[in-house]
Amino acid sequence: MSFMEGILKQNKPVWDKCIATTFVQEMKEGKLPIEDFKEYMVQDSIYLKNYARVYGKAIYHAETLREIQLYYSILSFVTDTESAIRLNYLRQFGMTDDDIEFIAPLPENQNYIDFLFETAKRGNGCEILMAVLPCMLSYSYIFRKLAEEPESLKSRYWDFISDYADDRYADSCKEWCDFADKKCGSLSEAEQKKLESIFERAGYLELDFWNMAYQRKKA
């Protein structure tokens, strides 16, 4: 089993917990109130802007041009492909990315951003990669599982679900995992353990993020 295959296996339980959150279940069933989805979209727009900033540091640490191109391909997904549907929803809510600049992140979002910035500040290239990958890989895992369920097809959020369940996105995730295997797969056991814990921490921050919009409304 490769380094990344091991990591994906270890993190399946936390990603399954993300699927089990009320937010994700209600989204699948189409029952999620649009106000909750709006809050998620707004917070996600704040998150993604800050997420993209971390790639500045990843690229700085890059050892080859190929590596820079790889980071650029992830960044391009975040700022173009992924943003198209997000901007569409923001437009429906009468908002643009400019409006997002005036909104503060909720605590769970801020925690996740702090973790990314902290890892970018102190970490090496592999550590930064482990902090950013769960964002990309967990969504492919979660939304492909959702898309397998017939209920999702009838959901008002199907456009959002199908975008992340896309085969091309899954292929890109595979490419990013292969890159991580090449870059980090031959490190010592102690170094790999450290990387595993960074990856796992990011997975739990993803879980907090899914719980965030729902909990705040119901509190």
Ligand X SMILES: Cc1ncc(CN)c(N)n1
Q: Which parts of this chain interact with ligand X (CB under 6 A)?
A: 44, 47-48, 82, 135-136, 139, 206, 209
Rounded to a whole number of angstroms, the minimum distance from the CB of residue 45 to ligand X is 9
Rounded to a whole number of angstroms, the minimum distance from the CB of residue 89 to ligand X is 12
Q: What is the Cβ-side half-sphere exposure of residue 178, based on CA atoms within 13 angstroms?
A: 8
Q: Which is nearer to ligand X, 4 or 192 (CB)?
A: 4
Rounded to a whole number of angstroms, the minimum distance from the CB of residue 186 to ligand X is 28
How far apart CA 130 and CA 198 sit, in angstroms, is 6
Q: Which is nearer to ligand X, 44 or 67 (CB)?
A: 44
How far apart CA 204 and CA 189 sit, in angstroms, is 23
Do residues 12 and 203 touch, judged by C-beta distance below 8 A?
A: no
Q: Which is nearer to ligand X, 109 or 152 (CB)?
A: 109
Q: Coil, strand or helix: which one is 79?
A: helix
Rounded to a whole number of angstroms, the minimum distance from the CB of residue 51 to ligand X is 7
Q: Which is nearer to ligand X, 48 or 177 (CB)?
A: 48
How far apart CA 139 and CA 170 sit, in angstroms, is 10
Q: Which amino acid is at 72?
A: Y
